[in-house]
Amino acid sequence: MASENLFIQTPVAVSHDSNESFEVIHDLYFNKLFLIARGYISSKQDAEEIVQDVFVKLWKKQEENHSIDNLTGYLFRMTRNACLDFLRSKKNVLAIETNLEQRQNLLNFHALSNESASSIIEDELHKQVDKAIDQLPKKCRQVFVKSRKEGLKHKEIAKDLNISTKTVENHISKAVRLLKTQLREHFTFE
């Protein structure tokens, strides 16, 4: 399978009847978004809170039945903007403080404000996710792609592939589990 940006081009209908897909999104993206936030925010707790806020906003979109055309980009932008907001709120303190950690936050603020630097980080994350998806077993990848890229429901996938809905669920669970493993090999999480 050619490497495709499955999450970039995937319209995701964030809807109330899809608590399971919200959990899958959370499972797939939390660590990546935390890694991005942690790269710019010195405090692990602050970075975690920022990412949690991003998912709260995504959940609110779910409650409002909004459709998101570019989930990965949307989540990365929300995380980036939340980090910028956090760093802006700390900017006055950063100018006064001489603490090394505070200086690092200021440098990170300037790096995060740089669109091309953020774009490079985002592109690298996309490549890692795509590579991990390409390494899924054929049937598992096929089900996962139909679910995430094509936006098909479990019943539709089952009918299309002539398998049971339970088998579809098992393939998606397996894909999520394998993707987590693959992505952990490429990223360091605390």
H helices, E strands: number in the chain: 8, 2
Q: Which pLDDT band, with edges at 50, 70 and 90, does 9 fall under?
A: very low
Q: What is the pLDDT of residue 13?
A: 46
Query: Which tens digit of pLDDT belongs to each residue from 47-105?
Result: 999 999 998 888 887 777 666 677 888 888 899 899 888 888 776 655 555 566 666 77
Q: What is the total residue count of the chain? A: 190
Give the Cα separation of 46 and 48 in Å (integer): 5
Query: Which tens digit of pLDDT belongs to each residue from 115-148?
Result: 665 676 677 777 877 888 888 899 988 998 888 8
Q: What is the pLDDT of residue 62?
A: 73
Query: Which tens digit of pLDDT belongs to each residue from 148-166?
Result: 878 889 999 999 999 999 9
| Widest pairwise Cα distance in the chain | 65
Which tokens in the block code for residue 106? Answer: 């200021």
DSSP 157: H
Say which residues have a Cβ less than 8 Å from residue 189's Cβ, sequence separation at least 6: 31, 34, 35
Q: What is the pLDDT of residue 190?
A: 43
Burial class (CB in 10 A: 0-12, 13-18, 19+), 161: middle
Q: Which helix (H) or strand (E) holds 161?
A: helix 154-161
Q: Structure pTM?
A: 0.45
Task: Quote the Cα angle for 50-51-53, to 5°.
Answer: 65
The mean per-residue pLDDT over the stretch 8-28 comes to 61
